[in-house]
Amino acid sequence: GWRMPAARALALGIAADVVPPAGMDEAILRRARACMKIAPLAAAEMKRLLREGADAGIETAKSLEQEVLFRLYSTADGQEGIDAFLEKRDPQFRME
C-alpha cells in the first residue's frame, strides 16, 4: 500500500476532517460523540467496511460503500433516520 496525504483524502471525500496534532483529542471526542448517535446497523456496517475495504482500492471501497448505503436506506432504521432528519428530531433506532 501507499500513503495518501491528508489534504488529498479530504478532497476525495475519504476523510471527513483534517486536524493538526494539537487538536486531535478534541476532534476525536467530537467524532466519538457523533458516532454515538449513529444507528446500530449503520455502525456495524461501517466497521465491516473498514475491515473489508482497508486493503481495497478506492473504486472498490466506494462501490462497497454504495452497496451498504442502498441496503441501509431500505431498513426501518434507515427510514427512521430520514424521517427524523426531515422532522428535525432525534431518531429512535430499533435495529430493524
Please report, for the chain, the start and end positions of each structural domain, with discontinuous segments joined by +: 1-36, 38-96
Distance separating alpha carbons of residues 94 and 65, to the nearest angstrom: 22
Closest CA to 53 of 40, 41, 38, 63: 63
DSSP letter assigned to residue 14? S
Q: Which three cell numbers stand for residue 66?
A: 454504495
Tens digit of each residue's pLDDT (9 = 90 or more) over 78-94:
999 999 999 999 899 88
Tens digit of each residue's pLDDT (9 = 90 or more) over 40-85:
888 888 888 888 777 778 888 888 888 988 988 899 999 999 999 9
Q: The whole model's pTM is what?
A: 0.53
Residue 67, helix vs strand vs coil: helix
Residues in the chain: 96
pLDDT band at 11 (very low <50, low <70, confident <90, very high): very high
What CATH number was assigned to the domain covering residues 38-96? 1.10.12.10
Distance separating alpha carbons of residues 22 and 8, to the nearest angstrom: 21
